[in-house]
């Protein structure tokens, strides 16, 4: 997304400390609401997107929908896991365990990072990299102000460190064997499911293909495993030289595993 983004509040909203920090971090222009519609603000400023700062976090309004942080997929997965109904893929295939350090190189909405944070626990560490300068602050601040009566979910979300960075540059700067797991979940070229909810995310995401160099840097930075998530039939695994591809027959998603050291 190359267009201009401006920030405003709800009709009843006020500028507070969190909004001021958000504006300073993003450098986006603040536009007083003055009882105007978002379309009026968009036309008056020439903006492609308007962020509305709400109590629940920032919401980016685009022509094709709204984009904001929400943990729905992670919440559903962890709820099933906590009930003992499933063993989540992050534990079963990725091999996460309490105390691990996990680097999510392609954060997006953060569902996998939230599950990883829950599984690694308070003594673990989860860092989420997001290259999009639009997605990163929306998700980071959405996580920061998110509230839920489920303490276990809120704690897992708040432990995630969101970093706006291109994963290759970040990996190059890390010491060798500095994370237990390095994880890549790039934007699929062909979506697994057509979803109105994911459409705004795709419009502002980085669609650059995962490079072999990034995976090689991942193998240097990881202690135990590098994991690549893709469509089951994707040619990406072969292109990246990954031969160990795992995933259930009922799932259209698969995980390429590079094992560096056995658990």
- Give the contacts of 167 (CB within 8 A, at least 6 positions apart): 105, 106, 129, 131, 184, 214
Q: What is the pLDDT of residue 263?
A: 59
- Give the contacts of 27 (CB within 8 A, at least 6 positions apart): none
pLDDT tens digits, one per residue of 121-161? 999 999 999 999 999 999 999 999 999 999 999 999 999 99
Q: What is the pLDDT of residue 250?
A: 67
Q: What is the pLDDT of residue 233?
A: 85
pTM of the model: 0.91
Q: What is the pLDDT of residue 43?
A: 94
Q: What is the pLDDT of residue 193?
A: 52
Q: What is the pLDDT of residue 112?
A: 96
Q: What is the pLDDT of residue 142?
A: 96
Q: What is the pLDDT of residue 11?
A: 86
CATH number of 72-259: 3.40.50.150
Closest CA to 93 of 249, 246, 262, 234: 246
Q: What is the pLDDT of residue 3?
A: 83
- For each successive 10 residues of the chain (263 residues), what is the average pLDDT? 87 81 95 93 95 93 90 92 90 94 96 97 97 95 95 97 97 97 81 52 72 97 96 90 84 92 68
Cα 108 from Cα 230, distance rounded (Å): 14
Cα 102 to Cα 121, 126, 182, 188, 243: the distances in Å are 11, 5, 6, 21, 22
Q: What is the pLDDT of residue 16?
A: 76
Q: What is the pLDDT of residue 190?
A: 53
Domain boundaries along the sequence of the chain: 5-55, 72-259
Cα 16 from Cα 183, distance rounded (Å): 36
């Amino acid at each position: 997304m190359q267009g201009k983004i401006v920030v405003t509040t709800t009709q009843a909203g006020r500028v507070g400390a969190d909004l001021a920090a958000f504006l300073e971090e993003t450098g986006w222009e603040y536009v007083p609401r003055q009882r105007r519609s978002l379309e009026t603000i968009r036309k008056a400023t020439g903006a492609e997107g308007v962020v509305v700062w709400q109590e629940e976090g920032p919401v980016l309004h685009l022509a094709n929908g709204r984009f904001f942080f929400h943990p729905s997929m992670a919440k559903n997965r962890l709820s099933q896991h906590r009930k003992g109904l499933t063993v989540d893929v992050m534990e079963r295939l990725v091999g996460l365990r309490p105390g691990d350090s996990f680097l999510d190189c392609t954060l997006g909405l953060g569902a996998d990072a939230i599950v990883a944070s829950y599984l690694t626990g308070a003594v673990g560490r989860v860092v989420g990299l997001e290259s999009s300068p639009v997605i990163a602050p929306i998700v980071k601040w959405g996580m920061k102000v998110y509230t839920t009566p489920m303490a276990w979910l809120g704690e897992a979300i708040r432990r995630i460190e969101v970093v706006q960075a291109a994963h290759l540059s970040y990996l190059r700067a890390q010491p060798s064997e500095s994370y237990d797991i390095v994880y890549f979940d790039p934007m699929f070229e062909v979506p697994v499911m057509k979803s109105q909810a994911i459409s705004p995310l795709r419009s502002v995401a980085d669609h650059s293909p995962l490079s072999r160099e990034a995976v090689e840097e991942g193998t240097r930075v990881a202690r135990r495993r590098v994991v690549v998530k893709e469509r089951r039939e994707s040619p990406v695994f072969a292109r990246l030289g990954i031969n160990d591809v795992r995933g259930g027959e009922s799932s259209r998603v698969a995980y390429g595993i590079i094992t560096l050291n056995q658990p």
